[in-house]
Each structure stands twice: as C-alpha cells, then as structure tokens.
Amino acid sequence: QWSLRSVAAEHRLLTGFAVDPKLLQDPHYVAVVREQASLIVPENAMKWGALRPALGQYSFEQADALLTFAEQNRIRLRGHTLCWHRALPSWVEAIDSAQEARRQLTEHIQTVTGRYAGRMHSWDVVNEAVEVKDNRPDGLRNSFWLRMVGPDYIEVAFQAARAADPAALLSYNDYGIESETYDAEQKRSAVLLLLRRLKARRVPLDAVGIQCHISARPMYSYGPGLQRFMERVREMGLQIFLSEMDVNDREVDRTPGRQDVEVAQTYSRFLAMALEERAVTAVLFWGVDDGQSWLRYENGRDDQTRPLLFDQNLRPKEAFYAARAAMETR
C-alpha cells in the first residue's frame, strides 16, 4: 500500500497533481491529495484570469488557501503560470501601449511571486511561448505578449520573478515536444533554440516543464526524440519537470476494461522511458480524477474519458498502479 509520494521520494522525485482549491471542501479529494502528493500545482487558480479580476486588483483568496493547505500537509507548491497567451482577462487584452504592457507584466510578476516568496517549490514563469506554425525565425509564438512587449518579454518575466523570489525554481513550460512526430521534432528544435538564447543571455532559468499531454492512440509513439531533447536540456544544467501529464483516450477501444488497460499501458511505457532521464525531478498529473479532467470538455463533451490515475469516485485505476510501478523501477 505504498503511496505515490513515498515511492517517488525513494527515487528522488516529487509527484502530485494539478488541483482546484474549490475541491478542498471535499474530504475525500483532500484525503487522496494528502496521501499521494508531495507537489501540487493549481490547475487554474494562479492564472491571470483568476488572480486579476480588474485593472489594479488582485484576488488571492484561492491561491492563499492552496498554499496554506500545501504547507499544512508538507506538500510543495508549483505556481502556474506567470506569463501565458491564454486565460488573460479582457482588461489585459485591451492594453494598447508597449510600455503599459511591459509595466503590467512586470508588476504582476513582482506582486505575485513577491507575495509567496520563499514558500514556492517553483514557478512556471513563461508557458507555451514557442509555436513553429507562426513561422517566425526565432520560433516564438505570435502572442499578445510578443506583439505588445516584443521578444524580450520572456527575459523580462524571468528577471522579475528571480528578483522577487530568489528561492523558487524558475521554469519554462511547453507542450507538443513529447512524441516521435515531425511536428514534435520541429517544436523541440525551436524550444532548444529559445533555451540556448536565454542561457547565453544569463536569464535566470532553472528548469524546463514538459507538459506531457500524451495520447494512447497507436499512431503516436514516444522515445528517442524526447530522450535526446531531455539530454540537451540536462547538458544546459537544467532540471526537467513532467508538468501536466495525462493520457488522451479519445480514440481507444472503449470496451469496459480495455480502455483502462490501454491508458495504463501508455503511462507505463511513457514513464519508464522518460524517467530514465536523471534530470527529471518531478512528475505532475493534470488533475486528480477523471471526473475533473479538462479532457472532458476538449473538442466537445466526453464524459466517458478516463485519462487520469483515479476514477471519478476517487478510486485508483490501473493507471495509478502503472505510474507507481514506473517510478518504482526508475
């Protein structure tokens, strides 16, 4: 009856889930998080959309509650996310000067990281800044922050975070770099280019978050491309977090039994491969139970999706045992 957190600890890993502070009202949910997690991340509660209801206003209740809960239970907290092109309130998107955008970005990061300084495991400082399809030579996404502040918004964000909280690990986070597809190879190259630029400019960066929204579809495979990417990241002296793991089962056989087995096998294969990399220091699953997963609402409603380690009644599934075994044999 070993918990995920105890097995992970023996193999020098932190592990846990994206959580929703509103669900801390549910004793069953709380029990699972307490027992299994050594690291948690708010799925939404620390995004701009949650923290910044209006210009000049901050709303910290949910975020504060989560950090208090974590500290009371000896769980570390990862912050997500200080700079992203999504989950922005409309008053931010209405900003119309470069100077004001830069000022707001800096002020937001100073205020938020400053409030929790010394208490956070890490901050996801910049999320999803690379988009190959946007066809820029630097690989950057043509996002709100890029258009308003310019490409050095990334550097501005990391500097502000380090200045306000020198203790937290600062990470760059992105998706689409996990599989063996051509797209993923292009994405990996573009992300490595960005990381090298940041390192060359001495931007304070400690870790890379690889989201790991993977798929149980047979057409996807995982392996050498990701391993090479992780090796390069390690050579830059950075840690790696598998930061948002879940297994998309939209196209797998939904026969009862089959579905959970295929999801579990995907967890097994992927984690056995990825955890060979010693630079991986944390594994986070994007939600606790299937009932809360964002995949229920992605590309149309899917109430039968079972992408996480616990079912909607918070019972551990095959995927739980598979993930635990993969950590165990690390």
**Between residue 179 and residue 208, which ones bind ligand G3I under the rule CB under 6 A?**
none
- Least distance (Å) between residue 51 CB and ligand G3I: 12
Query: Which residues, numbered 149-168, are part of the site for ligand G3I (CB under 6 A)?
Result: none
Give least dist CB 87 to ligand G3I, A.
4
Nearer to ligand G3I, 23 or 117 (CB): 23
- The residues with which 240 forms a beta bridge, in sequence order, are 208, 280
Of 43, 131, 244, 262, the active-site residue reads 244
Per the annotation, the verdict on 244 as an active-site residue is yes
Residue whose Cβ sits closest to ligand G3I: 294
148: Cα within 13 Å, side-chain hemisphere: 21
**Single-letter amino acid code for the residue at 257:** G
Nearer residue to ligand G3I within complex by CB, 62 or 330: 62
Query: Shortest Cβ distance from residue 169 to ligand G3I (Å)?
Result: 18
217-238 burial, b if ≥16 CB within 10 A, otherwise e?
A: beebebeebbeebbebbbeeeb
Binding mask 35-74 for ligand G3I (x = CB under 6 A): --------xx--x---------------------------
Q: By C-beta, is 7 or 50 nearer to ligand G3I?
A: 50
Element spanning 214, H or E: strand 213-215
Separation CA 184–CA 178 (nearest Å): 7
Measured from the CB atom, is 7 or 45 closer to ligand G3I? 45
Residues 85-104 binding ligand G3I (CB under 6 A) are 86-87
- Token code pair at residue 276: 């060979």
Catalytic residue (choose from 43, 128, 131, 262) = 128
CA distance 125 to 113: 10
**Residue choice 60, 91, 220, 294 for contact with ligand G3I (CB under 6 A):** 294
Nearest approach, Cβ of 43 to ligand G3I (angstroms)? 5
Question: Alpha helices, DSSP H only, in the chain?
Answer: 4-10, 27-36, 48-51, 61-72, 90-93, 98-115, 144-149, 153-164, 182-200, 224-235, 258-274, 318-328
Instruction: Name residues contacting ligand G3I, limited to 240-269 (CB under 6 A).
Output: 244
Number of neighbours of residue 74 by Cβ within 10 angstroms: 10
Amino acid at 213: H
Tokens found for residue 184: 């993923």
128 is catalytic: yes
User: In angstroms, what is the minimal distance from the CB of 41 to ligand G3I?
Assistant: 9
- Active-site residues, by number, are 128, 244
User: Which residues make up the interface to ligand G3I (CB under 6 A)?
Assistant: 43-44, 47, 86-87, 127, 175, 211, 244, 294
